[in-house]
Amino acid sequence: MSYSSSTDIRRNASPFLYGDEASSVARVLESGQYGHTDVTEEFERRLAHYLRVPDAVAVTSGTAALHTALVAAGVQPGAEVIVPSMTFCATVQTILAVGATPRFIDIDATTLCVTPDLIKEAITDATTAVMPVLFGGRAIDLTPIREDLAHRGITVIEDAAHAFGSRNPDGTGFVGSDNSVLTCFSFGAIKNLTCGQGGAVIPRTPDEAHTLRRLRLLGIEQSQSERAETTTYQVGGFGLRYPLSALNAAIGLAQLDHFDETAVTRRRLWRAYRTALSGLRDVPLIDVGADRAVPHLCQIRVPRRDEVFAHLRKAHIGVGVHYPPNHLQPAFAPWSRSLPATEQAGEEILSLPFHQHLTEADIALVVHALRAALEATTITPQA
């Protein structure tokens, strides 16, 4: 069977547009104002309204969100930040950007997420922050160690790049609604909600929101609207240039109008994969907690992953690997340590095509090709 005619299964991910994005961007272009404008501020208000939180601070990317969150939390050079190795390298790079030290920890093999016990075991006197990664969209319950972290003055900064729209573990609110946690989202091109490029931080307090807004615009104190009414501005402290443009915010506003539909579609497609994969032996599907998550990835674990990957790519199936473990990367070698579950996952995880362009027929074709790849690598897939 040939798969070369299906563009949807040839790619691992692709932005999904609803048709309103072009007109939303066109209005910004016609205005002649393309930087941080009232369109950006409207996007922030709409984000906060959707998540049912008091505020949201939009920035240029998920990486910028993590960076500004670390700075706002007061993470200093020489401090230690606990972080899973199983994440995109951007998470770790932001720790290095503030001069802190990453302390890599292992993951739960079934979820690819950290656990409270793994975090607790890694805490040292130098630990200033912990950055759990909500892998694939799955929220993490830190209730068992929440009080201990607060007592030690350790800030929790959630890397929720995969998890916009997912529910907290107790189901009572969205990820980002816990006001004891700094939550960081990404709105990159292939995220569940896209701005083309963008991100946001959900602050814990009004003062923290003010700090984040100052940080994202070179330390300037005044808001966009306030600066329009004055002849000068005041630089109140250290800052970066991370404001989200109105063009990107316009895309995000159009996406927000349809996000409930996005959530339903992504859950339906993930469950379709779960059903289609149920007939394959020894090919576990990574559990994202789809009843509460808005899944971002659909991943399996397979023996001889690289061979299976090659067979699927040859069959024009857009598989990927998310992610090569960071503690094994040359750039992060000084902080490497033994992480058995992460290292095994790094050899076995395989991301299947997963995006809203897919149909259930596409999913059936992917699983058919996967079965053929398993057979070709002498892995018997029969249940």
Q: Which of 191, 213, 292, 305 is catalytic?
A: 191
84, 162 Cβ separation under 8 angstroms = no
Among 354, 318, 370, which Cα is nearest to 10's? 318
Among 85, 111, 132, which Cα is nearest to 285's? 111
Per the annotation, the verdict on 191 as an active-site residue is yes
SS3 170: coil
Instruction: Report how far apart, in Å, the C-alpha atoms of 150 and of each of 51, 54, 128, 180, 241 are.
Output: 24, 22, 11, 9, 31
Strand 57-59: give its sheet, edge to edge: 57-59, 199-202, 182-186, 155-159, 127-130, 80-84, 101-105
* Vertex 54: Cα angle to 139 and 66 (nearest 5): 50
Pairing of strands 80-84, 182-186: unpaired
Question: How many angstroms separate the CA atoms of 39 and 246, rounded?
Answer: 5
Which residues sit opposite 200 in a β-bridge? 58, 185
SS3 273: helix
Q: What is the number of other CB atoms lying within 10 angstroms of the CB of residue 22?
A: 11
Give 153's DSSP letter: T
SS3 109: coil
Burial of 229 (C-beta count, 10 Å sphere; 0-12/13-18/19+): exposed
Instruction: Report how far apart, in Å, the C-alpha atoms of 305 and of each of 287, 341, 377 are.
Output: 19, 16, 10
Among 98, 101, 41, which Cα is nearest to 246's? 41
379, 302 Cβ separation under 8 angstroms = yes
Catalytic residues: 191
